[in-house]
Amino acid sequence: NAGVTQTPKFQVLKTGQSMTLQCAQDMNHNSMYWYRQDPGMGLRLIYYSASEGTTDKGEVPNGYNVSRLNKREFSLRLESAAPSQTSVYFCASSASRGSNYGYTFGSGTRLTVV
C-alpha cells in the first residue's frame, strides 16, 4: 500500500545512546516532515525538508539532526538521547511545501529514553 513507512515502531534507549529513526514514502512527494507528539502538547514540528537536498528547523529542533537521503527517505537522528526526548515521533509527507494537497502520516515510532 502506498504511504509513509516508519521504522522502528518501538524503541527503548538509555540516556546518552544514539539512534536514527527511518522514514520512507512512495508517493513521489517533494516535502517531508518530522513531528513529535507529547501528552498535553499536541504535535510539534521538529524538522522538515521542503525538497530533496534541503532541510530546515521547525519548532523544537534541539537535540535532533536530520538527513534527506533522497526523495523517498528522510531520517531523524538523536545523537545523545535524553529522557525529555521520550515521545511518539511521526513522519509525514506532502506533494510540496506550499500546496493545496494534504499531508500523509506514518504510523509513528514510540521512543522511551530511560
Partner 1 sequence: KQEVTQIPAALSVPEGENLVLNCSFTDSAIYNLQWFRQDPGKGLTSLLLIQSSQREQTSGRLNASLDKSSGRSTLYIAASQPGDSATYLCAVSQRRGSTLGRLYFGRGTQLTVWP
What's the CA gap between 94 and 104, in Å, rounded?
6
Nearest to 46 by CA among 69, 32, 64: 64
Among the residue ranges 11-19, 65-73, 75-83, 89-97, the one whose residues contact partner 1 (CB under 8 A):
89-97
Q: Which of 2, 14, 40, 53 binds partner 1 (CB under 8 A)?
A: 40
Q: Which of 21, 24, 25, 31 binds partner 1 (CB under 8 A)?
A: 31
Q: With beta carbons less than 8 A apart as the criterion, state whether 93 and 102 touch.
A: no
Should residue 94 be labelled a site residue for partner 1 when binding is judged by CB under 8 A? yes
Q: Which is nearer to partner 1, 6 or 85 (CB)?
A: 6
**DSSP state at residue 73:** B
